């Protein structure tokens, strides 16, 4: 188990979490306390992040930011994009 240090941030307390936790800046996590354990629930943050990625993909179609196969071949042919 890795130790992290609690720090004073204004009138609150905070911790620095390693990137390996999979938490991203701006994520909103649910905090639960069970006995002596503090649990950060990331499930909603993961769902929201996935929804944002999917929505961005749909926006490409909505704003007609798509390419035809011929345009892709012209732009990316040298990288192996072929019909």
Is 37 a member of any domain? yes
Is 70 a member of any domain? yes
Is 49 a member of any domain? yes
Is 7 a member of any domain? no
How do residues 10-33 score in pLDDT, each as one tens digit?
A: 999 999 999 899 999 999 999 999
* Residue 66 structural domain: 28-83
- Sign of the torsion angle spanned by Cα atoms 53, 59, 61, 64: negative
Is the pTM higher than 0.75? The answer reads no
Element (H, E) at 6: strand 6-9
Cα–Cα distance measured from residue 49 to residue 24, given in angstroms and rounded to the nearest whole number: 9
Domain count, the chain: 1
How do residues 45-65 score in pLDDT, each as one tens digit?
A: 999 999 998 998 888 888 888
């Amino acid at each position: 188990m890795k130790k992290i240090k609690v720090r004073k941030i204004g009138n609150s307390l905070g911790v620095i979490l390693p990137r390996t936790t999979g938490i991203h800046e701006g994520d909103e996590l649910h905090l639960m306390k069970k006995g002596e354990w503090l649990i950060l629930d990331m499930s909603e943050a993961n769902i929201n992040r996935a929804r944002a990625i999917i929505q961005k993909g749909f926006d490409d179609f909505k704003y007609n930011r798509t390419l035809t196969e011929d345009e892709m071949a012209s732009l990316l042919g040298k990288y192996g994009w072929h019909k």
